[in-house]
A and B are shown apart, each in its own frame.
Chain A
Amino acid sequence: MKIAVCVKEVPDPTAEKRIDPDTKRLVRSGENTLNRYDRHAIEEAVRLREGAAPGAEIAVVLVAPASASRTVDKALAQGGDRSVHLADDGLSGSDIVATSRALAAVLARDSYDLIVFGQQGSDAECYVMASAVAERLARPCVTQVAALALDGSSLKVKRQVETGYETLEVSLPAVISVSDAINEPRYPSLPAIMGAKRKPHEVLSLADVGLAAGDVGVDGSRTHVSALSKPPTRGDSVKLEDDGTAAEKILAFLVERKVVA
């Protein structure tokens, strides 16, 4: 079985997010790291390899600047067998339309049985990359997977939805995104950390995956950010200083708004 786990490099989530006023893009020049939601995707792939799909090969796939080697190594330490890294200056400024085109082009070079995403990126919080890539590859897609079981050539999945869980069966090859409740990612072992650099790393350019500069980046994007502004501050908030009666006041507030009866 061939599994691809798509991972993203994001700005260190503990640092404050900044937007460049000129480009209106997130500033990515600080410390960057592996998107934490993707750790669940790698962990789930590793569990498949340890369980129902022995011998499965796990490729870590990413579209990121060439400087993303720490992120790649982290994903490999977590359990990936090799990395496929599309790094090209022309990708800068890509939106979801352009990035999904690039990712799909990388993924199409290989016959993956299962493509796994994390549920969202901790930077842009879009939640849609898995669906966009599945659409381009014309593969079935299930998002927010909270549990999965491999059953021959199909996958039984439990999907987290607002009202509860859906149980679905999806035939392979397929694309899924896993929720962060699906597992508790393990810490990588010391030998895995030390060995990450020695695993096969494939670095590709746009030309390698058959894309032209205009397909991605700003030119290949369909969204254009014309202005950014802070959300309006909410005027109706009430601040309570606890003088011993705060709990009662909060309760009264909630009852008044019929939040609790």
Chain B
Amino acid sequence: MNYDLPAEHQALRETVRDLAENVIGPVAEELDRTSTFPLAIVGQLGAMGLMGVPFPAELGGGGADILSYAIAVEELARIDSSVAITVAAHTSLGTSPIVLFGSAEQKERYLPELCSGRRLAAFGLTEPGSGSDAAAIRTRAAEQPDGAWVIDGEKMFITNAGTAISGLVTITALTAEGETSNLIVENGTAGYEPGPPLHKMGWHASDTRPLAFQSCRVPAGNLLGPRGNGFRQFLEILDGGRISVAAIGLGLAQGAFEQALAYAQQRNAFGRPIAKLQAIQFKLADMETEIAAARHLLYHAAWLKDRGRPFAHAASLAKLYTAELSHRVVNEAVQIHGGYGYMDEFPISRFYRDQKILEIGEGTNEVQRLVIARGLGV
């Protein structure tokens, strides 16, 4: 057993931390306030190989492992969750379906631009009427005599589908009664329209939209993997996605903890820094303890995946734990900030708003518990 992070991973953490603190940090508040998608930052991350960390370098990706990916996302979320989810959704939800299930032609056509971050990819499973209950999707893709597909339906809450550099969305659709398949729809395809950006509680600088498909025709070659594999494919995609959402929870908690620690040492009440009050010290001690536990859970899940071992259960544990841990940590971090924590001039209020989605997206806390319990065989 070796608990030392390899030197490369440490160097990666240092680099992403430096970038997050010095390039993203200074603009995070403004991007959030103005709900501006961070195009320039995505460009810089792409040039560094960070828009496709676990994908081969030959394809423009970072050529690194899942642990590297988790560390990069964690460090981004320590400063700004909107940027972190943009990277995570693009990598785990948008690009990985094509890496995992794409044909040689699909990989050649899409991966160089996606792995390098010149184009963004999205994944559309959720619909206005179905989220956790993914089997209840209504979007249909009807096969045409020439093999093409005509898609009709709506998707909801989709990340990265409508930015200036969005290139495609992979959607899950019914290709027959009780049969789901995934299809690639390129931006600009007639009949496919990303709606206006949704107004959200947090993740303001991340792109979230409803998508509409009306007689949207895509060629036969846009079917992802074998017909009828839609369900199995998205379950596998979501397993991987849980690692990156857990990394966001961990990074957000770490960032909130550090802000609370710094604030507690500089804020005086009753003649001394509030960090000298035992009530505050206990909060800080709890935070550090739980964050340390979360990091072990997450890195273990990444470690398993990197070794090609079953990792889905570990990823669910990490996702559930970090979702709830980040809630507790950011809540107490705002508490430690007192009234200033409620003001937008301190980043902690943004962290508070950015946290809640981590308990909802890519499997709610409840669904995560269902998955974990299923793993117990009960």
Contact = CB atoms under 8 A, between A and B. Distances in A.
A86 to B, nearest CB: 21
Contacts of A252: none
Given A189-B49, A190-B48, A194-B62, A70 B57 contact: no
A191 interface: yes
Interface string A71-92: 0011001000000000000000
A66 to B, nearest CB: 14
Interface residues of B, number: 20
Contact of A191 (B15, B18, B62): B62
A201 interface: no
Interface residues of A, number: 14
Interface in A179-216: 187-191, 193-194, 196-197
A73 B14 CA distance: 12
A221 interface: no
B12 A193 contact: yes
B11 A73 contact: yes
Given A187-B18, A187-B19, A191-B57, A197 B49 contact: no
Contacts of A196: 8, 11
Contacts of B53: 190
Contacts of B142: none
A24 to B, nearest CB: 31
> Of A69, A74, A189, which is in contact with the most chain B CB atoms at under 10 Å from its CB?
A189
A46 to B, nearest CB: 14
A193 B15 contact: yes
Contacts of B360: none
Nearest to A33: B14
Nearest to B48: A189
Contacts of A197: 7-8
A196 B10 CA distance: 13
A69 B63 contact: no
Contact of A190 (B7, B44, B63): B63
Interface-central residue, A69, A73, A191, A196, by most chain B CB under 10 Å: A191
B205 interface: no
Nearest to A77: B11
Nearest to B69: A190
B10 A190 contact: no
B361 to A, nearest CB: 25
A70 B10 contact: yes
Given A77-B11, A197-B7, A190 B47 contact: no
Contacts of A193: 8, 11-12, 15
A76 to B, nearest CB: 10
Contacts of A70: 7, 10-11
A197 B68 CA distance: 16
A61 B318 CA distance: 43
A190 B19 contact: no
B47 A74 contact: no
A190 B62 contact: yes
Nearest to B60: A191
The residue in A189, A193, A196, A197 that gathers the most chain B C-beta atoms within 10 A of its C-beta is A193
A188 B13 CA distance: 12
A184 B50 CA distance: 20
10 contacts: A77-B11, A77-B15, A187-B44, A188-B15, A189-B49, A190-B50, A190-B68, A191-B62, A193-B15, A194-B62
Interface of B: 7-8, 10-12, 15, 18-19, 44, 47-50, 53, 57, 62-64, 68, 72
| A-B pairs, 4 with minimum CB distance | A190-B62, A190-B49, A189-B48, A189-B49
